[in-house]
Structure formats: structure tokens, C-alpha cells
Chain A
């Protein structure tokens, strides 16, 4: 297992480093000069030169890159050109909001998916299947921003029972109940497509598992269907579902851009949009790198969880590791 972990970690690191060079170069190729944006229409050449020097944009590419790497390693990301504040805290604040929202949606989606698919499989009723399938398809077929807007219109504007957007005023921990209400609508809008995908996959996986010989064995032993689904089939369907969950996590992060826009949720999605349109290199670079790191880590995590959940992988490699 450790060997497996290390080899996965190595390739993850390689991808990240290559990505960092790519991103750094790419950002500098984007047309539009950050200095012009910063200095504004009425700036004199002198003030523009001053800004250029202040930002270190007068140095050669590799020197800038190495500097940036150094800053990254020290976690000192310097000030943002345009958005203001320290890039680190800017991203940390945004990341907190996005992560809370995404994780909330992920929990909603996966809990909902497990509930819905086990209910469908255990119940084994035609009407339940049709209902879920219809819900499912609807959740996938309606664009996220449309769902989000409808939710706002219904639950915040027409019947104002939930906030129309924004983050809870006192932070997430001060009043968990208030925070929950703030999270509910954006979380729901974000979770729906992921829920649909997960439910579809899990239902399918459970049906596949139920066709496996070990299920026949269990049934022949007189173990009730519901118990087989809950204690055996679900457990077997989990590893592959974790992989799908990992993919959905990436999709959620992408969808968060839209949901954050609709719900005025000050997260990373907004930062990306603003950062790129205002040519805020320091912010965008780190954000892009962050999205690569998140992707790589998610893949790593799903691989590791997958391996850990499957005793065939887990124990096999441990034995091999021990024999060395």
C-alpha cells in the first residue's frame, strides 16, 4: 500500500510541477497588460513604469517563475495586483467559502444518492424506479444556473423563507442553523446534477452487484434482500462509486462558478472570473495551480480510498510490502 501510495504521489507531483510551468507561461501569454489595467486610463508613463517595477514584471520570465515558486513554497503569495489584499488570504477566504459549499453539496449529493438508490433497489418497485429515473433525468437536463435561479425566485423572493444568496453574516460556525439555511439553496442547486449522476451510477452498480454470484450465495442462505443490499452489495459498489464521486467533485467545482455567480457566494469561482478579466496574474496563477492540485489530490484520494476499500488491493500490497 505504501509503495502504491508513493508511486501515485510521485506522478501527482510531476503533473503539478509541469502544470505550474504551463500555467505560469500561459498566464503571461494572455493578451492585455495588467499594468494598463491597474494604472487606469489617465496614467502617465512614469506611473506605469513605477507599477511595472513594483510588480516585478520587468524581470525575465524564469526569474519571475523561480521567484514565484519560492513564494509558493514559503506560502507568501504577495499582494494581488487588482483585487486588493494579500493573495494568500484572498484565496484562503474564497477557498473556505467554495470548499464549504462544495463539500455541503457533495454530502447532499452522496447522501441523497445512497438513500435514493438503495431505496430503489431494496424496494424493487416499478413506480419508484420510474419516479427516480424521471427525477434523475430532470436533474441532469435542466441547466444548473436555471435551477439556481428558480430556487432563488421560489424560496427567497416569492416565498422568502431562505436567504437569496450571500454567506452567513457571522461565518459558518457562529450559528450553524443560520449557516445551514444559507447553504441550503446554493448547495441544492449545485448538488442536483451530481446527485443524479451518482444515483444513476450507484443504482446501476447495485443492480450489477445483485447479479453477482455471491449475492445468489447469500440469497440461498436465506439472508433477506434488504440486508444483502445494505451490508454486501453497497459495500462492494462503494469503491467504484468513490471514483465517480471523485469525478463529480471536479464537476462540482466547475458548477460552483455558476452557482457562486447566482447566489453571490464569494468563492473561488468569482475570484477566477475577476482575476482573469482584470489580468491579476498572482491570483489567477495560484487559482489555476490550485485547481490542478485539487484535481490531482482528488484523483489520489479516490485511488487511495478505492484501494483501501478493496481488501484485494489493500492486503495484497501490504503483504508484498512486508515481504521486502
Chain B
């Protein structure tokens, strides 16, 4: 009634609406600092410093930090820690790192190493021979479940009287001692408890650990006092992104500079795009294989196993699944391995006729081949694809296969307990190191007790023989013997070597890789 009254409800509503619109506009306006307007074109000019944004598939697990169990861990180890020696990617020749020189005793049971005297931990404490002893003993402790634990435990004596030199004594000659020293990071004894809790990772490496939010993020900053000279990057931000698809999207959206875990096909596609680089790292290989339980009545006949080996279309797997980032193999060894034998490696080339003949022969002898279960981890798509190719291949030679995808946890449990009912598909590693490392450490190969339940005194003898020889002086004939045993037994049917890959945007340069399969960011720089 009186026009002076201000609170007409409709007007009040309008005012509220107007305020909301204004607020939203404000948000939009302040959003000029867009989350994605990173540089989309590179000028090619080198940029000083800068933070590298990395996408990793899996997070670190502090209690399992020495097990190569995730790409996040790999990045942490190579960035924060140094090892005593380094293998170059393509050879098994130790190169100096924290150790400047070394000498192996005649009988191969003693190793003396000279250590650098200008190295400090991130905590400021100088690096000494005691730290080497501590690191090796840590690895020998079963709690850390290090895969080379047996090798580390075989080191029985430590002479640390000189701060900058150490002499190690072995229980027996260790042909793979340098493998151990390449893999073993030198850790700080004072902060071991914090390491276990994930609160501190103290090493001597090019980057210092800064923070970790589990399941999400890891950050590192540059170590200005690094003994090789300070790295070019200011720091590293690692985002944990378990979905490969999402990693690629974020790389394409310029939210990430480096991705470690895209799918093979994505790497292939990215490789064709000039805005990205895709790296295939030869020298840090792993192997995908078909395992057989030799106690399964059908698989106990070696002819059936050999038939399966001949029926595997390895080239197709490499071409269509691995998109060329692999090599078809019959034996695990890569080309530079001392055990590599080109002719033996071609033993089981794709030959359906031969395979069919073998199966028919076995069947004629009364071997019943029922539907065989083929177990594989359901999480990674590569296993599923390979399994389906294997299934199709085996169908052609009259072996029916039932796919049995299981969770990784259960697959691993069956691997350990040797409980696979028939066939399985998994990966193994270590063939790119000294062959004995594979033969005595890798679970599927362990001559004493393996997942295939394959027991053969000849095989066992051949494996032991290559292990207990002096490093670097193993008789090549012994490797030939081992290869013969592997091919003859055919309990583990190799499919292909897999090359690790990663992709970067075009502004990332000089990304490296260790033989352990870890990205090396020391030399890496960005361009504008």
C-alpha cells in the first residue's frame, strides 16, 4: 500500500537472483587464471628450472619400497637414491657411480670397492662405507621382501675400516653380484623408521623427497649439492593416475609433461603426434609368457607343451597388442645377454602344422586334452588381449581353453603357491640382467620349486652352475646347456620381450632410463 515499503518479496527474489548471477560472473572473470592455459606450443628455447609434472599409474608403498613394485616407486628410487654402480642400458658392464672402482678376488668370493668421498645425504651427513653395509643388510632382511634378498644374504662379510672403501665377502661366488649393486639404492640409516612410514626418504640422489599424499601425489625438489652437479629441473610433481586413459587425456590437455603408464596403443598414437615424444627403452625389458602346470594330466606330456609353444602367434602379439614395442622370443634373453642364442631363440616360431602334429601324436598316445583353464590378472588389459589371442591360436590346434581372469592378488597367490590349475599368462623380469639372476631368483624359473611344479635334476644342475661362478667369467657353454634345458622342458613358454615405454610432451628433453626400468630425470630439462 505504501510505496516506501522496500521488501516486496518478488523484488527480494529478483535481487537474490541478480546477486547469484553477479557472483557467478565474478568467479568466471577471476577464472582468467585458467587451469589449462599452459604453453601449447614450444619455442624450443631451453627453460631454466621448472617443475616436471609426471603421471604415474601406481603410488609408492613405503614398506615395499625396494621391490620395483610400482612406477611411482621407480621414480622415487632413481630420483632420491644412487647405487654403487650403474649398468648402461645395453650392456652388463658396471660403470662407476658412488663406487669409483672395484676389484673382484680371483675366486670370485670377495669384492673391494672404492667409494666417492664427496657425497652427502640430503640430511647433510657424509656418505661412508657403513652406509653400504647398512643398505646391503637392509636388503637381506626378509621384512623388506626384496627379490634379490637371497643374493644380498649371501654377502657375509663387510670390511668397513676405511670410510671410503669397503670389502664384501660372499658365501660362495656370485655371478650376479653386480646386478645386486646396480639395483641396491644406498639408503640413510638414521631415517629408516621414517622411510618405513613414508615420512622421509633420505638418499644421495639428484632430488630430495618433499611430500607425499598417499594415493594422490608425490613431490620432489632439486638437490643443489648433488655430487654430479645440480639438476636442471627445480622439482618433480608426480600425480598418481591409475587410469591410463586419464593419463593420456591429461598429457594431451597439457596438465602433465611425462606419463609413465599409457596403453601400448596410446603410446603408438602419441608417437605419431609431433607434440609428443614416445620413448621405448631397450635394455630394461621384461618378458610375457604362458606358464604351464606340468602336473596337469594334459600338460604333463611335453609334446603338448611344445605344441602350445609352436602355436603361439608371437608376431601378432608384438604387432597388435604391444604395437611393436616388443620382440618375439622362445628364450627369455634379450640380444645383448651373454645367454642370447639367435638360433635357439627361434625354436618355437609360429608353426601350426608342427603344433597340430604334436597334439595329434600326443592324443594318439592316449593323452586326453580337456578344456584347459587359462588364468591371468584381470586388471591390465594386455593380459586379456594376449589371453584371447592364445585362446584363438590354441583352438586352431584342437586345444580348448577357458579364460579365467582373476584379480591380481589371487593370481600372485597362485603363482607363489604353484596352484594354477592349467595355463597362465604373466610377466617375469630379470632376463636382461646376468642370466643367473633369473634362474635362481625369478619365481617361475626357480629350479628348486617353481610355479610350473617342474622338477628336473638336469635343469637344476644347469641353473646352479651358472649362478655359482665368478661374476663376468661364466662359461658360455653353461649358458647353452641352460638354454637347452629350458627349451627341452618347455614348462614356461615365452611369448615376447616387452620394452618399457613412456611419453612426454615435446617440451621435455633428455629423459633417461635405468636398466632397472626407472626414469632418470637428472639430465632432463624443459623448453619454453
Contact = CB atoms under 8 A, between A and B. Distances in A.
Establish whether A and B are touching in the complex (CB under 8 Å).
Answer: yes
Interface of A: 31-34, 36-44, 46-47, 50-51, 54, 79-80, 82-86, 89-90, 93-94, 97, 152, 156-157, 160-169, 175-178, 180-182, 226-227, 230-231, 261-264, 266, 270-271, 274, 277-279
A156 B213 CA distance: 25
Contacts of A83: 59, 61, 214-215
Contacts of B143: 47, 50-51, 54
Nearest to A182: B35
Interface stretch (B111-119, B405-413, B466-474): B405-413
A171 to B, nearest CB: 10
Determine which residue in A156, A157, A177 has the highest number of CB atoms from chain B within 10 A of its CB, and name it: A177
Given A83-B59, A164-B249, A277-B379, A42 B413 contact: no
B499 to A, nearest CB: 22
B62 A85 contact: yes
B239 interface: yes
A51 B241 contact: no
A182 B525 CA distance: 27
A264 B241 contact: yes
Interface in B391-410: 407-410
Contact of B142 (A33, A37, A46): A46
A94 B215 contact: yes
B417 A36 contact: yes
- Listed from nearest, the 9 A-B pairs whose CB atoms lie closest are A47-B142, A85-B214, A266-B216, A264-B246, A164-B249, A164-B253, A264-B241, A41-B443, A84-B61
Contact of B255 (A54, A164, A175, A270): A164
Interface in B245-274: 245-247, 249-250, 252-255
A42 B31 contact: no
Given A84-B198, A277-B409, A50 B246 contact: no
B35 A168 contact: yes
Nearest to B413: A36
Among A156, A166, A271, A274, the one with the most B-chain Cβ atoms within 10 Å of its Cβ is: A166
12 contacts: A36-B413, A37-B412, A41-B415, A42-B442, A84-B198, A90-B214, A160-B36, A177-B31, A178-B31, A178-B35, A264-B241, A264-B242
Interface of B: 9-10, 13, 27, 30-31, 33-36, 40, 55, 59-64, 67, 69, 142-143, 145, 147, 149-150, 197-198, 212-217, 237, 239-243, 245-247, 249-250, 252-255, 379, 407-410, 412-413, 415-417, 441-443
B237 A169 contact: yes
Contacts of B212: 85
Contacts of B409: 32, 34, 36-37, 277-279
Contact of A157 (B213, B253, B442): B253
B254 A160 contact: yes
Given A33-B413, A182-B35, 6 more contacts: A44-B149, A85-B62, A93-B213, A164-B255, A264-B242, A266-B217
Contact of B33 (A177, A266, A274): A177
A41 B9 CA distance: 72
B34 A82 contact: no
Contacts of B197: 79, 85-86
A165 B417 CA distance: 40
Given A54-B143, A156-B249, A32 B149 contact: no
A269 B61 CA distance: 19
A84 B213 CA distance: 10
Contact of B408 (A46, A266, A277): A277
A140 B31 CA distance: 31
Contacts of A152: 249
B443 A178 contact: no
Contacts of B379: 277
A230 B13 contact: yes
A169 B35 CA distance: 9
Nearest to B415: A41
Given A54-B143, A177-B27, A38 B64 contact: yes
A163 B416 contact: no
Contact of A274 (B55, B237, B242, B245): B242
Contacts of A164: 246, 249-250, 252-253, 255
A271 B34 CA distance: 29
B145 A38 contact: yes
Interface centre among B213, B408, B409 (most CB of A within 10 A): B409
Contacts of B62: 84-85
A40 B64 contact: yes
Contacts of A33: 413
Contacts of B198: 84-85
B98 to A, nearest CB: 26
Among B197, B214, B239, B408, which residue has the most Cβ atoms of chain A within 10 A? B214
Contacts of A36: 409, 412-413, 416-417
B36 A84 contact: no
Contact of A42 (B9, B10, B147, B213): B147
Given A84-B198, A177-B31, A278-B408, A264 B441 contact: no
A166 B242 contact: no
B239 A166 contact: yes
Contacts of A274: 215, 242
Contacts of B247: 264
B220 to A, nearest CB: 15
Contacts of A231: 9
B35 A93 contact: no
B246 A40 contact: no
Contacts of B13: 230
Contacts of A79: 63, 197
Given A157-B249, A164-B249, A180-B27, A270 B242 contact: yes
Contact of A165 (B67, B147, B214, B246): B246
Nearest to B444: A41
B69 A40 contact: yes
A162 to B, nearest CB: 6
Contacts of A168: 35
B145 A47 contact: yes
A44 to B, nearest CB: 6
Q: By CB atoms of chain B within 10 A, which of A31, A32, A157 has the most? A: A32
A40 B255 contact: no
A152 B249 CA distance: 8
Contact of A93 (B216, B252, B443): B216
A274 B217 CA distance: 16
Contact of A43 (B35, B145, B250): B145
Given A82-B61, A278-B408, A262 B36 contact: no
A262 B241 CA distance: 10
Contacts of A263: 246
A179 B459 CA distance: 60
A31 B145 contact: no
Contacts of A182: 35
A31 B410 contact: yes
Contacts of A163: 35-36, 250, 253, 255
Nearest to B441: A42
Contact of B215 (A181, A226, A271): A271
Given A46-B142, A83-B59, A160-B254, A261 B412 contact: no
B243 A261 contact: yes
Nearest to A34: B409
B509 to A, nearest CB: 23
